[in-house]
Structure 1
Amino acid sequence: LVITHDHDLDYQLVRTILRREHVPYCGMIGSKTKKVRFLKRLQHEGLTGKQLSRLTCPIGISGIKGKEPEIIAASVAAQLLQIIGETDEH
């Protein structure tokens, strides 16, 4: 999970994570707009569609309302449990 207050640091971390093929998931806190901007930059730097598809942003289960830290944390934890379950099935 990438959760910082610095967009440049977020970008550097996401780029590094996505380049590591053995990492099946990269979640980043942020908006859909932020994701689109990052994907364009990452694609320009040569990352593949397969690499880019591992980026999840915004993070958390869709449909859960609320921006309070505890709600976001519970939503992200639930999403991670889903991903772990899917990975274990394969």
Structure 2
Amino acid sequence: MQDATEIEADHTHFYPGATARVPPGAAPGDGALVVHFADGSTASGTLAAETLTVAPYRTRAGTPIAARRWRIERRADGLRIAARLPA
């Protein structure tokens, strides 16, 4: 089983225009992800083609964030959230 790719979000949650970085030398390929948000919270997720699915999680302040699906744009340094998709 392949390990999950870890990505670092630039904010406490995703929204259109938000970005996430991948560690140098890693590529955000399809499969399991661990998302590390800017406040220290984490969530599991999956990346398939141009769709990112993030499981529900709580921000460090305790705000619940529901599961969401996003259309993404892949970039050399990570990814950019393009639009929210229906659940």
TM-score (norm 1): 0.28
- Higher alpha-carbon Rg: 1
TM-score (normalised: structure 2): 0.29
The structure where helix makes up a greater share of residues is 1
